Structure 1
């Protein structure tokens, strides 16, 4: 399994904190921080919050002589493996779903371009959400423009 898919699986499982630098064990805040981080995800799941995110990755180089968009294709493969609803467009990919799945996916997509061999990458991300249950859906926003 490619590292980017493993990273996606770890992030989706909520173990991304294992990759961060250790903090001082004597600080009481270190014990309460995980609870504060876990609450929004649990609240999002229980309230039915929904995000739309568009991500455009700009790796350098974009690919190889044999595979012109190799690094972009690696990023899209991570999105495809996520199980979330997505639409690939010419200038980026739109993903929608629960916040606790979308946010880690955005990080994994960025990382996938680097792991595929690009020297560097820039990710441009736009996110739309709502404090209300349900939140925006791609279909709701574009229905009147599609035929």
Structure 2
């Protein structure tokens, strides 16, 4: 089975084949919105829930919350629905992978497309998160605490 790895300091997401060889690596972030119930995904290895194809939502698109190819959810204690996805490609505020999420890892549509294609041949088993301490995975609000956000404006 294939697996994913996320490095919070390097801001990379890698897809590894069943033999451990790296298929590809892409930019990814775990920038978490201040309204989320946790600050970052803790280091560890988590079981993938969507093993053979990403979970899709009606209207998924590159500008949507989850991107064109849906979300690959994994089992994270106390937080159902956490996963890897793309989206917000052209957002005015921190477009693409750097755009804050409610706890997920955001990457590119290119990454999600390739991972989805690979999942059709070799299902995913786990994601290993490393170097994702509170200092490297600071919430988006902490990173940009001096930015004024007008009432009614939403960062997501």
- TM-score, structure 1 as length reference: 0.27
Question: If you compute each CA radius of gyration, which structure gives the higher value, 1 or 2?
Answer: 1
- TM-score, structure 2 as length reference: 0.26
Greater fraction helix: 1
